[in-house]
Amino acid sequence: MNFAANFSSFFDKGRTFRPKKKFQPGTLKYSLHKQAQASLNSGINLRTVVRLPPGEDYNDWLAVHVVDFFNRINLIYGTVCEQCTETSCPTMSGGPKFEYLWQDGVKYKKPTHLPAPQYITLLMDWIEAQINDENIFPVTTDVPFPKTFQPVCKKILTRLYRVFVHVYVHHFDRMMAIGAEPHVNTCYKHFYYFVTEFNLMNEKEFQPLKEMTVRICTDLAQAPVLNQASTSTKVHISKAAPVPIIEEK
């Protein structure tokens, strides 16, 4: 299975939400990026792929994966962004039980209700600014990672996961219609195994996709989920009053 190549090839045919971020050839991060891609393409179990290679620096490994996940989730969202409008998605939600409020501490100083496309655009702009800031993501090995690096990465990954939630819950019919389901599922599994391997997200963030995660990450030692007879990975959320998830600063 050549996952990395197949994934990019499949999604590059559609609309890309924004240009990809790339590593400079000849740098350590570029080498780690290629190493990670090679491991993905080799067919190794995804839970094994995410582990820190012996002798490598954890911060470099984290930086490479944050950028890779940013690129891939941009590609995924790019295939549904035309269907994700302020009319179809007036809130950034993951079903009726979960709504995400935007706060960046600058323009939006308080948690703010926003339509999903506006939330995701602001989110991707914010992530891109973090990745391009060499004070947070150093580009050379002679510059140390700042103390803020890991907390920023955790926030980036947490917010990227919310795009997964929105796409799976509200736009998965589109994913199935274009045959993207297996590609998105594999990307999701890779992301999930990585963030859980290094404890990078709060457990509560996984709640909207909990049942689906057990269904597609078949090695998880959890109780059986509802609707076991269903072969689809689409998320089914019970109806209840929205419970806002407040953005942290």
CATH code, domain carrying 53: 1.20.140.30
Grade residue 141 by pLDDT with cuts at 50, 70 and 90.
confident
pLDDT of 27 over the 80 cut: no
Query: Quick check: is 34 in a domain?
Result: yes
Note the pLDDT of residue 235: 46
Query: Quick check: is 225 in a domain?
Result: no
Query: Quick check: is 209 in a domain?
Result: yes
Query: Quick check: is 106 in a domain?
Result: yes
Note the pLDDT of residue 46: 85
Query: Quick check: is 104 in a domain?
Result: yes
Note the pLDDT of residue 219: 72
Query: Quick check: is 53 in a domain?
Result: yes
Total domains in the chain come to 1
Note the pLDDT of residue 37: 54
Q: What's the mean per-residue pLDDT of the chain?
A: 80
Note the pLDDT of residue 9: 52
Two tokens, residue 207: 């709640």
- Full-model pTM: 0.79
Task: List the domain range (segments joined by +) for residue 106.
Answer: 3-220+230-245
Query: Quick check: is 13 in a domain?
Result: yes
Determine the Cα–Cα distance for residues 221 and 218; give it in Å rounded to an integer: 8
Name the least confident of 33-42, 193-202, 216-225: 33-42
